Structure 1
Amino acid sequence: MTRDRTIRLDRQSPSDPAGTIRVERAGALVTLTIDRPDKGNALTLAMYRALADAVTEADADPGVRAIVLTGTGQDFCAGNDLDDFRAHPGTALTLSSPVLEFHKAIRHSHTVLVAAVDGAAVGSGATALLHFDLVYATRRSHLQYAFVDQGVVPDAAASLLLPQRLGPQRAAQLLLLGARVSAAQAAQLGLVSEVFESREHLDTRVAEQVATLLAAPEGALNATRALLRPTGNDPLLRMSAETATSARLLSTTNSSMRNISRAGGPTPAP
């Protein structure tokens, strides 16, 4: 049975209508597509809410065994829509924020999570990937953890998970300097599973890998996935601490925010 629906968001930011989250169901697979290409697929609070609801709904359906997240246009996700966040200061950085609810939803998810990245994954678009089981990217893609320049700290427990994966020095380079990481570099660091020449090759490989996952014994797959999750410090607690810290920073400083362009930006990571 196949279902295909689109969540169209009525909320608007001051400068541009909010985007669309497409939710497509094909058998045991749910595909979530961020559809706001004119804004680099930057996420508004309403879009975060739609993503959180879609992941939670898929998780509650025993017939769903895999979720794929992707984007349209030239970017995977340019991070947060800062105009929308400024328009809703009492919502954007709270413990009940849709941002935090989405990050918790993917952290809690017992469904296999696969990301298909084509283009820039910046800020929250990059940190969310830390919670995906498999991340596939095109060669033209890059990751960039652009938070300090925005006057805030990382989110999605990146301040915990990146040092665990890369060690403190490499994590500091990415988080303190906002260094751009090419898809090839990300693969070497273990942040990306595989890199492909084009979107067509990416989509083909993702479809093949999802088919393999859906054909695997469900119990063994889920148990292995649970064992692969980091133990020790709780990423959910770190998410809350990061959110509270960013809210405090923004309430006590008036630092101007620098936009990170897709063409320019900080020096690439070595």
Structure 2
Amino acid sequence: MTPDRCVRTGGPPVTKSTGAIRVDRTGALVRITIDRPEAGNALTLAMYRALADAVAEADADPGVRVVVLTGAGEDFCCGSDLDDLAADQETALGLRSPLVEFHKAVLRSDTVLVAAVDGAVVGSAATALLHFDLVYATRRSHLKYPFVAQGLVPDGAGTLLLPQRLGPQRAAQLLLLGERVSAAQAARLGLVTEVVEDREHLHTRVAEQLTTLLAAPAASLRATRALLRPADRDAVLQMAAEGATSARLFASVARDGRA
């Protein structure tokens, strides 16, 4: 996916890869690609750590105006690699979990965050998008929050942000039942900014919007983004509560052999 094509960003392109996370920097634009298509871009702890570092590094650079997150292959991201998380539960569910650090990085970023979504967006990927400013999706894309069926609770402050956006009953429908949400439904609910026909149209639409964003004054972009997302204290506390609850549930399953 090349959502920055035809966008004049200035400066030579620079690419850096950390495992299955690829970071491309061209002038004021940073594009982060989840590059594990053979596994539906499922995220391991190492990938969460690389994502957190990439977002934080971009945010710390005053020359970066926009970060775009996308996925290689047929799906944006099918959520966490549960086998990888189960293999290191202490790290996965600890207070400094790379998963939580990624969510905190996108929450705290003052850099404009744009998601270019094609295909499935599941679990932690779906809750992460709640912290993005603009989310563009293809018609075939869908969201799903399957945490309860997995014996866990949602992460990324999803239990706070979804009720705030949708109301408690609609949020309960998505989080308790884990129902699949089509791109069109997600747009109606305000979880997606805009739906386009296919990947080709996604490239074009994101490039158009990046042209507008990159032409705006950097200080105004950052200041407006910060004002749109006031104090993150409640969301961080909710993330901690979610992580502690999932850790307790994991321990219960390990001890009793059932969810």
1:7 maps to 17
Where 2:64 maps in the other structure, the secondary structure is coil
Q: Which amino acid aligns with 1:129?
A: L
The yes-or-no answer on 1:170 pairing with 2:181 is no
> Are residues 250 and 130 of structure 1, via their aligned partners in 2, closer, same or farther at CA, if it must alter by over 3 Å?
same
> CA-atom RMSD, angstroms?
1.3
- The structural deviation recorded for 1:233 is 6.4
Alpha-carbon distance in 2 for matches of 1:232, 1:222: 16
2:3 maps to none
2:122 maps to 122
Alpha-carbon distance in 2 for matches of 1:222, 1:230: 13
* Moved >4 Å (runs of 4+): 230-233
Alpha-carbon distance in 2 for matches of 1:193, 1:25: 24
Alpha-carbon distance in 2 for matches of 1:230, 1:197: 34
Q: Which amino acid aligns with 1:69?
A: L
- Which structure's residues are more often helix, by fraction? 2
Unmatched segments (≥5 aa) in structure 2: 1-10
- The structural deviation recorded for 1:203 is 1.2
2:151 maps to 151
Q: Give a deviation string over 1:75-127, Cα, whole Å, max 9, x none.
A: 10000001111111111111111001110001010100000010000000100
Q: Give a deviation string over 1:179-235, Cα, whole Å, max 9, x none.
A: 100000000000000001111110111111111011112333323222222568611
What is the count of residue pairs matched by the alignment? 246
Where 1:234 maps in the other structure, the secondary structure is helix
- The percentage of counterpart residues that share the same residue type is 71
2:98 maps to 98
Unmatched segments (≥5 aa) in structure 1: 10-19, 257-270
Where 1:69 maps in the other structure, the secondary structure is strand
Q: Which amino acid aligns with 1:2?
A: P
Q: Which amino acid aligns with 1:73?
A: G
> Relative contact order, CA 8 A, sep 6+: which one is greater?
2
Q: Is the CA contact (8 Å cut-off) linking 1:147 and 1:175 kept in structure 2?
A: yes
Where 1:154 maps in the other structure, the secondary structure is coil
Alpha-carbon distance in 2 for matches of 1:147, 1:213: 34
1:190 maps to 190
> Are residues 223 and 61 of structure 1, via their aligned partners in 2, closer, same or farther at CA, if it must alter by over 3 Å?
closer
1:265 maps to none
TM (norm. structure 2) is 0.92
Where 2:94 maps in the other structure, the secondary structure is coil
Where 2:116 maps in the other structure, the secondary structure is strand
